[in-house]
Structure 1
Amino acid sequence: MKRYITALVFGLMNIVMIVGCSSDDKGSDEPVKPEILAPVAIEKTNSTKIYVHYMPWFETNESSADKKWGYHWTMANKNPNTIGANNRREIASYYYPLIGPYHSGDKDVIENHLLLMKYSGIDGVLIDWYGTYDVNDYRMVKENTEQLIAVLDKVGLEYAIVYEDRVTTNVVNAGKAISVTSAAKTDLAYLEKNCFNNANYIKVNGKPLLLNFGPIVLQTPAEWTNVFNTLTTKPTFLTLWGESSDAGANASGEYAWVYKDNSYLTNYYTNTKPKLGVAMGSAYPGFKDFYAEGGGGAAIGWTIDHNNGATLDETLALAKNANLNYLQLITWNDFGEGTMFEPTVEFGYTYIEKVKAFAGVKNTESVFPEISKMYNLRVEKKGNADVQKKLDQAFNYFVSMQPAKAKQLINEIK
């Protein structure tokens, strides 16, 4: 009887010992499994920690239970099933993702996004998060977030959560919690149990980083004290700029955002930053919301022109002069507000190339087109197991900082 001792992995070598095989054993026709390679940090000269605000809220007609496109592609009046000029779907944005509209929980999309981030010198992702309750699309956002987190460690990127306390009112109104503080306690208890202790969860001053988009509902220090009292470790808690008084002593500092024009950033760096225990700056390429045209509510009322990349150049220059420890890029993929760093048909890789330069990435080799090609091959060759294994190998080469090997493998696939 044959006995097989299989898959003993030492470093980069796969050694398979086969004992008692008959002489006519032909072995297996299975494709060789990709080498599992540990992620290697990208080398860069800028010591500022660069994070990017990320929206995990996108849904397609293939991913949703009701076979409908999610609100963030449609708003009230756009139909992505309508395909117009240049083979583009109709979406609720003035801008179009280079890989097309997508489902945030799609592992191929996540792979694409995280590899682009890694090679642009981004250290981690700040995930916009709606909590744990099954209200509106919050469960979908939670599940997509979990899919994202599962890949972050494989790529070698950190993450933290940006909690939207505005959701607590809807949770109470849906009868899911007895109070807004009760809802927030449940959400943060989940984070403490499932995220805060992760090795790649961002720590600031030795404690897990937690951002809040607001506060919007929990607007008194007593409420936040009540919420945090149930946690074993109180997080390093940052509110939106100008909002830390709502949390009182619970707030460790504030983070900048995007508003009207760049003078607000200048004011933050000059007048607010010196007073904060922890200050996180911001950089953005522009702002142009689609709410009025998409029937998604009133327009924000102001825009910041992208100005062929000049707006991003200026906000990055302000960040550099401010000597920041932490910078948040706003945003990776808020297409509804037009603040995307994610490559688009309109801007290509311009914005992440600028981030790469700001970060001082030492490896100046161009890899962004191949990362996009890898995504396209994932989609085109979805049923081809052999090609998918080769792409898995290319992914492992990318994360271990062997881009030349990854590119060669990708370009060999027909």
Structure 2
Amino acid sequence: MVKLFFPVACAALLLAGCDRKGQSSEPLPSDAVGIEPVEGKLLLMHYMPWYETPEVRGRWGSHWTGHAGQHDPSKTGEDGLPDIWSHFHPLIGLYDSTDPAVIECQLLQMKLAGVDGVIIDWYGIAPTADYPSIHEASRRMFEIAGRLGMRFAVCFEDRTYEYMVKTGDLSEDEIGSQLGETMAWLAKEWFPAPHYVRVNDRPLLMNFGPIHVKEPLVWAQALEGAPERPAFYTLHHLWRNAGADGGYTWAHPSAWTDGGGAEAKQRLDAVYRNVGDPSKVIVSALPGFKDVYENPHPVIEHRDGETMRESLEVCMEGPWETVQLVTWNDYGEGTMIEPTHEFGYRFLEIIQDARRKERGSTVASTDDLRLPARLLELRREGEIEARELDFIARLLASGSIDEARRRIESLSPDAS
């Protein structure tokens, strides 16, 4: 069995240059928690890096307010929770995707649940719309994931080019060169990193689509221009036509049309096996699906966690090596695994249960999942020296959970 947690490479780790409030004021140090080989399933969390708050970037982002500004997060509803573009609310409060204290908390929560890394939903390097903001948050996630011993991969949204063509920022004839530049940036900045996910000994590049760039030749030319051609995976029903190396699944409401249980698992298993050779398929587990769109997609009921449990069991019991968890925080579509006011830590606990079944006693306890949020609270309060909080983060990242708990409880005894 592989250990869930990894040894600390040396004394300093994350957010070493911080002010009294725990916010990064200097570049992060190079010291990091090491990446160890994975035995068993590789669990990767799909992550949305597109949230903005006034405290961090001077505005509410559209993924909290709605793209038409139809919600006001500064106000609360009858339930006492912020008015946001979602049916659900993060337990740690509304956050900015560039906040290093929040990223640290989220990655530690994932790690304590047994998740190996993140798949960032990325719109590339184009200076259009909110793509620079998403890119900034993605770069911060890449950096901190490396410090915490968490893997990182990209799911590129080629709808970037669809939007740029509509706005006149790009012509159809320029898409190939723009895609080539984007792939060259990835090949230089992220693919060579020790914590970047590799499939069949190549860096994994996922694409949510293709949505706009549908010509296989365009993708082939862009990918083959990189020093090391990535393993290219698209949505499961498009991968062959796109000339990709494999496909990944997403949300499949048909599996739960007649309710859950064994029959739902059988239907989902059949969908996944129909994609193709298991060595070329990344399967997905999700907690449910309930969006806020004007024209909504079919609902997948959360069923108090049973949908998460059933879909994850199919993935863990089947022949697939890599499992995508859909998603950490897409609040607009209601697929958030992150702890929420509505579901608490239920989905993370289910992932942890699955890991415990696979790996045994090396998995943390359910109570341990609460420690990163308590660390985040201490950072937000701003009363404790950042150096002490950094040390607690290192303890959690390296698996010294009992010592981390002792220190947290000594700093906030009323919360213990």
Once the two structures are superposed, the pairs formed by residues 22-37 of structure 1 within 5 Å of their partners are: none
Is the 2:114–2:352 contact (alpha carbons within 8 Å) kept by the matching residues of 1?
A: yes
Q: Could you say which residue in structure 1 is the equivalent of 2:183?
A: 188
CA deviation string 1:272-299 (max 9, x = no partner): 233x65210110010000123xxxxx22
Report the 3-state secondary structure (helix = DSSP H, G, I; strand = E; otherwise coil) of the residue aligned with 1:265.
helix
Is the 2:352–2:363 contact (alpha carbons within 8 Å) kept by the matching residues of 1?
A: no
Cα distance in 2 for partners of 1:173, 1:191 equals 25
Cα distance in 2 for partners of 1:331, 1:142 equals 18
Q: Could you say which residue in structure 2 is the equivalent of 1:314?
A: 310
Cα distance in 2 for partners of 1:358, 1:337 equals 24
Shift of 1:389: 2.0
Q: Could you say which residue in structure 2 is the equivalent of 1:116?
A: 109
- The runs of 5 or more residues in structure 2 that have no matched partner are 1-8, 13-19, 21-28, 256-263
Paired amino acid for 1:270: R
Cα distance in 2 for partners of 1:398, 1:68 equals 32
Once the two structures are superposed, the pairs formed by residues 5-404 of structure 1 within 5 Å of their partners are: 39=33, 47-64=40-57, 67-75=58-66, 76=68, 77-85=70-78, 87-178=80-171, 179-248=174-243, 251-262=244-255, 265-274=268-277, 277-292=279-294, 298-300=295-297, 302-360=298-356, 362-365=362-365, 366-381=367-382, 384=383, 386-404=384-402
CA deviation string 1:58-86 (max 9, x = no partner): 0112233xx33111011131100113456
Change (3 A) 1:200 1:87: same
Report the 3-state secondary structure (helix = DSSP H, G, I; strand = E; otherwise coil) of the residue aligned with 1:357.
helix
Is the 1:36–1:396 contact (alpha carbons within 8 Å) kept by the matching residues of 2?
A: no
Q: Could you say which residue in structure 1 is the equivalent of 2:15?
A: none
Is the 1:37–1:396 contact (alpha carbons within 8 Å) kept by the matching residues of 2?
A: no
Change (3 A) 1:273 1:358: farther
Cα distance in 1 for partners of 2:36, 2:233 equals 27
Cα distance in 1 for partners of 2:179, 2:146 equals 27
User: What's the TM-score once normalised by structure 2's chain length?
Assistant: 0.83
Paired amino acid for 2:108: L
Q: Could you say which residue in structure 2 is the equivalent of 1:26?
A: none
Shift of 1:40: 6.1
Cα distance in 1 for partners of 2:32, 2:218 equals 43
Cα distance in 1 for partners of 2:109, 2:10 equals 26
Is the 2:35–2:195 contact (alpha carbons within 8 Å) kept by the matching residues of 1?
A: no
Among 407, 410, 414, the residue aligned to 1:409? 407
Change (3 A) 1:370 1:59: same
Is the 2:43–2:116 contact (alpha carbons within 8 Å) kept by the matching residues of 1?
A: yes
Paired amino acid for 1:54: Y
- The runs of 5 or more residues in structure 1 that have no matched partner are 1-9, 14-29, 293-297
Cα distance in 1 for partners of 2:370, 2:312 equals 24
Cα distance in 1 for partners of 2:150, 2:334 equals 25
Cα distance in 2 for partners of 1:183, 1:277 equals 31
Instruction: From the CA coordinates, give the structure whose radius of gyration is larger.
Output: 1
Is the 2:114–2:363 contact (alpha carbons within 8 Å) kept by the matching residues of 1?
A: no
- How large is the RMSD of aligned CA atoms in angstroms? 2.4
Report the 3-state secondary structure (helix = DSSP H, G, I; strand = E; otherwise coil) of the residue aligned with 2:85.
coil
User: What's the TM-score once normalised by structure 1's chain length?
Assistant: 0.84
Shift of 1:222: 1.5
Shift of 1:225: 1.7
Shift of 1:268: 2.7
Cα distance in 1 for partners of 2:272, 2:36 equals 28
Paired amino acid for 1:412: S
Identity of aligned residues (%): 34
Paired amino acid for 1:394: I
Change (3 A) 1:99 1:258: same
Paired amino acid for 1:187: T
Cα distance in 1 for partners of 2:42, 2:56 equals 34
Shift of 1:181: 1.8
Is the 1:135–1:174 contact (alpha carbons within 8 Å) kept by the matching residues of 2?
A: no
Paired amino acid for 2:303: N
Paired amino acid for 1:239: T
Cα distance in 2 for partners of 1:37, 1:193 equals 21
Change (3 A) 1:63 1:37: closer
Change (3 A) 1:344 1:183: same
Shift of 1:169: 2.4
Cα distance in 1 for partners of 2:43, 2:82 equals 32
Is the 1:79–1:90 contact (alpha carbons within 8 Å) kept by the matching residues of 2?
A: yes
CA deviation string 1:290-338 (max 9, x = no partner): 123xxxxx222x1000001111111012112312200000000000000
Is the 1:256–1:282 contact (alpha carbons within 8 Å) kept by the matching residues of 2?
A: yes
Is the 1:239–1:253 contact (alpha carbons within 8 Å) kept by the matching residues of 2?
A: yes
CA deviation string 1:71-114 (max 9, x = no partner): 10111311001134564211111111000111000001100100
Is the 1:132–1:139 contact (alpha carbons within 8 Å) kept by the matching residues of 2?
A: yes
CA deviation string 1:171-214 (max 9, x = no partner): 34445445222221121111111000001001111110000000
Shift of 1:41: 6.7
Shift of 1:270: 2.8
Cα distance in 1 for partners of 2:253, 2:363 equals 35
CA deviation string 1:354-384 (max 9, x = no partner): 1011122523432122211111111122xx4
Quick check: 225-234 or 116-125, which moved more?
Answer: 225-234
Is the 1:236–1:252 contact (alpha carbons within 8 Å) kept by the matching residues of 2?
A: yes
Shift of 1:130: 0.3
Shift of 1:158: 0.5
